[in-house]
Structure 1
Amino acid sequence: MTPPQNTQTGPAAPHGTAAHAPAPSSEAGAAAPLLPPGARVFVAGHRGLVGSAVARRLAEEGYEVRTRDRADLDLRDADRTESLLRAERPDAVVLAAAKVGGIMANKTFPVPFLEDNLRIQLSVLAGAHAAGVGRLLFLGSSCIYPKHAPQPISEEALLTGPLEPTNEPYALAKIAGIAQVRAYREQYGRSYISAMPTNLYGPGDTFDLQTSHVLPALIRRFHEAKRDGSRQVVLWGSGTPRREFLHVDDLARACVLLLREYDEATPVNVGCGEDLTIAALAETVREVVGFGGGIGWDTSRPDGTPRKLLDVTRLFKLGFRPEIPLREGIEGTYAWWRDQE
């Protein structure tokens, strides 16, 4: 599903040619595109859910995608990361690499969720600057916003209240990434930007029940219950929290749009503008999987944030609209996962 390492997937051109320099404008005095056609883009985290989707989309649109596997480069290693970026000389970097997980993983392993993400961000952003990379997209998370932020959550809600305790270390690391992007813009004039996606799902997701997010966890739970002939699946919490879900391929389209057209310090929310209860999501997944039993709720378990719906006004003004309906996306994700078994 992901591009092979170092494969030139767009129009090939050596450095110094049009593919790696601002494209000439068709109108005198018009601004050069922020991401020229055929530009070389390094995707950090290309094996993950987000990075693989972004790499696919960039390749489909004619960009030259560059990557490195984790076995060849630990992005927490600042010196090696800088050396790689100096050697690759990309026109842009997409920072999609991160340690991610659901409520249980965040609650159990707060130290790596904080420290690994800080190290990755510091390494890639500083390395990109040192290597002269002028364009960078940092991908954060909607968990950066306060637990009780007004809904829908605008970008201006950042740092206006306490975070959700169950993922606070991860959220703080992502907030630090936003601050780092802003700092490079302010001090060095770099065209670095941040995007804050809502809950994502799709091909490439993690289905390990110890580390997965809610949607893939539901898919696996119902699938195994159907396989085992169970009469009921008991889920965490009350089912009443509301969440927004975006297919990762829609996120990838938004990322390419932002790389081409957005250049401001304010992070951009990326979502669909609609939410539903976890109970409604569970019912949809139950139907897609074909599990005939019931659903129970363990209210002794945490619900997390009561509601998390992003205000996507800023993104929609750029012309973005999601294309993949939730049920269709769940069906495709379930089929993909079954093919991996």
Structure 2
Amino acid sequence: MKGLVTSSPGGWQNTRLEQVDLRVGRPEEVLVEIRAVGLNPADNFQIEGKYPGGPQPPFLPGRDACGVVIQGDSTGRWQPGDEVVALQTSTSNLRDGTLCEQQWLAAENLARKPRGWSDVEAAAAPLAYQTAWKALFDVGALEAGQTVVVTGASGGVGLACVQLASALGARVVALSRSEEKRQKLQRLGASHVFAPDHPQLKDQIFSAIGAKGVSLVVENVGGPSLATSIHLLGVHGRVSVVGLLAGVESVVPLPSLMFKRASIHGVLVTDDSPPKAQSSWKALVELMNSKQIRPIVCATYPLDSVEKAFKHLGGDVFGKVVVEIPSAM
């Protein structure tokens, strides 16, 4: 079969599409024909050797996937022809990824493709929307009527946060440097949109929401943005740290953290056990379907253009970049 392989010592200079042998599956795994794969910054970090705890080359990158079952697991839960998505859990296999034509995936990590969703939409959702759900509700404890600020709101997780939080009935303040993207974010449900580099950002936000502090900030940017996020919190406010695209080091304003009695939480969706992932996935799909929401897809590419897809992911995006894989059968 054809797959994207990162060979030793790693990096894009050692990553290419190759004919690879399908590994032998285990009884608790399901053989899936991959139809679509949603790309994530973590996939690129893994290829470049910058993902903490990532596998050593050689490996197949890719985490998200939508596909159809070719061979079920030993329990008979999954049958040939079942349409499935791969969820992110503590048992996710980062060595044998999904950027290939077929892959053995753990049966406990699979869920049925949501009814009415396209393959591309389903492939775009798992990591971004599971992460957003955890950042907003599991860690962030966000409730209807509360205010959440979403930094880096035009990326995959950022958009998922805007959609899910507004669907719940929270007030969403979305930050994006692009005026065009800020207009799109309002159409997707953000109550207020601002440029993150405005010199009076805090005053703008507090004036818009009529309060001196927000309940939650979902931090998708990292670096210097974290200090600003802490300053935006109200008493007992929370920051869910999801991303670090602007840098891996931040300065924490300790007086603000102390006097607000605030908290900062790192978010990794791979903390979730398979049952927890299944529960969160069911809840977020039900919420999205009830509000007629679908994952936002920025662009699609064929597997043969996967490197172009990753370059797009690292550039100007609004939503997810998805790789489509034609059937090899």
TM-score (norm 1): 0.28
Higher strand share: 2
Higher helix share: 1
TM-score, normalised via structure 2 length: 0.28
